[in-house]
Amino acid sequence: MSAVVRFDGFTKRYGGQVAVEGLDFEVGAGRVVGLLGPNGAGKSTALRGLVGLLRPTSGSATLFGQPFEELRSPARRVGVHMDGIGFETGITGRRHLEICALSAGVPRSRVDAVLEEVGLGDAGGKRVGKYSTGMRQRLGLASALIGEPELLVLDEPANGLDPEGIRWLRRFVRRFAEAGGTVLLSNHQLAEMAQTVDEVVVIRRRTLFAGTLDMLTEGGAHDLEERFFELLDAEHAEHAEREANASGTAVSRA
């Protein structure tokens, strides 16, 4: 199984503050992989580094064996929807997607196709400023799909979706993978992730776990939430021990 996404020692620091350090994991073709971690764990930093929105301090993140900026026709390889990236509210959803299609170099006919695909077929002529949060999430997903990519990178795509929308998103992601696509997504809704992903990567500034969901839950003997918090608690205890040892060494030297 070839690696579509690879993080190799990926580290990002802002001055003396570490956002992520030494991230190591892969995403194989045709897989749905969930990137999990508490707020401030570095999930968005990792995804932004992957799609070229920031440069790592050290290490690398590659797609199809290359940094994002070296991909030819990137919109046809990677579809990106990042939480917090806004839209021009004065234009219609259809016009937004027409601009995306022009940028990606795909026919305008893709616009109506992706509007239907994400359930916005009747809302394309509506100004984005009138969209609900859930509709904007669907528009963001439509933007990611415009180039018919092989890989989707989605940062919190379920935010603002109602239960029906979350169920629709889960089915959409699974269909995309079953058709040969690959998905890397972050989501803080653990119960939903347990129904969606094949593999899990848990981070809190560094990689705490990377492997199959079945491996993490021991074949369903434990639920994802239970194992997630066990990993965080173990990491917290290790961090406290390191701090205590460092403090003791400093005292002995003094």
**pLDDT tens digits along 174-227:** 999 999 999 999 988 898 899 999 999 999 999 999 999 999 999 989 999 999
DSSP-assigned letter for residue 246? H
| pLDDT value of residue 240 | 77
Q: pLDDT class for 254, splitting at 50, 70, 90?
A: low
pTM for the whole structure: 0.90
Residues contacting 157, CB < 8 A, separation 6+: 81, 83, 137, 140, 141, 169, 185, 187
Order of strands, sheet of 78-81, starting from the edge strand that comes earlier in the sequence: 78-81, 151-155, 182-186, 32-36, 199-203, 207-212
- Taken in order 81, 87, 93, 97, the sign of the CA dihedral is negative
Intra-chain end-to-end CA distance of the chain, in Å: 53
DSSP-assigned letter for residue 75? G
CB 155 within 8 Å of CB 185: yes
Residue 79 forms beta bridges with which residues?
152
Euclidean distance between CA atoms 16 and 38, whole angstroms: 21
Placement of tokens 């205890």 in the chain: 237
pLDDT digits (tens, 9 = 90+) for 87-120: 899 999 999 999 999 999 999 999 999 999 999 9
CB atoms within 10 A of CB 17: 7
For 88, how many CA atoms within 13 A lie in the half-sphere containing its CB? 11
Helix (H, G, I), strand (E, B), or coil: what is residue 26? strand
Domains and CATH numbers, the chain: 3-77+150-253 (3.40.50.300), 84-148 (no CATH)
Token pair listed for 7: 């993080």
Euclidean distance between CA atoms 220 and 166, whole angstroms: 22
Strands 3-14 and 58-63: antiparallel
| pLDDT value of residue 188 | 85
Q: Which of 37-51, 62-76, 81-95 has the lowest mean pLDDT?
A: 81-95
Helix (H) or strand (E) holding 35: strand 32-36
